[in-house]
Amino acid sequence: MAPSSGHAPDHALICKALNLSWGFLSGQDRAFTPLLPLAPPLYQDQAYYIHVQVEDDERSYVVSVLLPRDDARDVASYMFGTDDLKDGDLQDACGEVCNVFANRELLQLGQSAVINMGRTGYLLRETYEATIAQGRLISGYVGEDGERRAYVLVFEMISEV
């Protein structure tokens, strides 16, 4: 995705913001890198999304975060200070990860851009597939820890899901 200036995304800046945010939310280090090749990964059971509308250019984006269940548990445990978690705790924590990750750096927006962010929601498999079909994946990042892969995806919406 190119910012309004027409320049290529600053992947180093975006990855740094994701790395810092992950540490803040999970208490763990994780190095996010650009997703290459840029293609939607397989659906994961801890998947969340948020709609972002940019008033300046009338563009609509969907930011999706897909986490393995172990990552979701780690984040929730860190946020709530307990290992005694319910599914609702995982949903709250993962929704917050999506909310924090959907920032101006990720979307390559300047400070003057007027944005309207929706509420985070659980991303059903069918909705994820519809987002892939009705949107254009314009950037993606992956944070790996062994076999665990956390994905952050940005879709520019061509039609509404």
C-alpha of 157 from chain center: 15
Cα distance between residue 161 and residue 62, in whole Å: 10
Q: Are 48 and 93 in contact (CB under 8 A)?
A: no
Give the tens place of pLDDT for each residue, 12-44: 989 999 999 999 999 999 999 999 999 999 999
Backbone angles phi and psi of 48, in degrees to 5: -135, 160
Number of domains comprising the chain: 1
Residue 85's CB is within 10 A of a number of other CB atoms, namely 16
Q: Could you tell me the CATH number of the domain that includes residue 19?
A: 3.40.1550.10
The answer to whether residue 40 is domain-embedded is: yes
Determine the pLDDT at residue 100.
Answer: 92
Backbone angles phi and psi of 133, in degrees to 5: -75, -35
Determine the pLDDT at residue 3.
Answer: 41
Instruction: Give the chain's mean pLDDT.
Output: 88
Determine the pLDDT at residue 98.
Answer: 93
By CB atoms closer than 10 A (0-12, 13-18, 19+), residue 136 is exposed
Q: Range of 108's domain? A: 11-157
Those residues of the chain that have pLDDT short of 50 are: 1-6
Cα→Cα distances 133→3, 22, 128, 136, Å: 23, 28, 9, 8
Determine the pLDDT at residue 159.
Answer: 65
The answer to whether residue 5 is domain-embedded is: no
The answer to whether residue 94 is domain-embedded is: yes
Determine the pLDDT at residue 7.
Answer: 54
The answer to whether residue 4 is domain-embedded is: no
